[in-house]
Amino acid sequence: MELSIGEMALIAIAIVVLFGPDKLPQIARDLGSGVRKMRGAVEDIKTEIMKETDNPVSEIKREIEKVKDAAKDYNPMNDVQKDVVADPLASNELPKPKPSDDEAYEGPVSR
């Protein structure tokens, strides 16, 4: 919307007639203050929208932190120790005797 010089002059004359020349500075200050507040609000909204939608870096950082937290709790030695040092009584199998102690064992055994 573009205003010509004549239209702006007509608006200025109407404001002077309606409000008087004494209140004109106060109206200009209030109008300027309102415009500044509106611009500030629009900037705040833009900033919030940009933070929420176009910030993949923060999302990646959050995912990295999740992986780090999960890695702190993970200890692969616990799994290895469970597999290597199994409790023979915990399983249903009886422990196998050594070939030197087994009388039924047929094979090379030094006694």
Helical H runs in 1-111?
A: 5-19, 24-53, 56-73, 76-84
| This prediction's pTM | 0.39
Other beta carbons within 10 angstroms of residue 15's beta carbon come to 15
Other beta carbons within 10 angstroms of residue 59's beta carbon come to 9
Distance from C-alpha of 28 to C-alpha of 34, rounded to nearest angstrom: 10
Distances (CA, A) of 90 to 85, 87, 93, 99, 106: 11, 5, 9, 23, 29
Per-residue pLDDT of the chain (111 residues; tens, 9 = 90+): 687 999 989 988 998 899 888 888 898 899 899 999 999 999 999 988 877 776 677 778 888 998 888 888 777 777 777 766 655 455 566 667 777 777 776 766 565
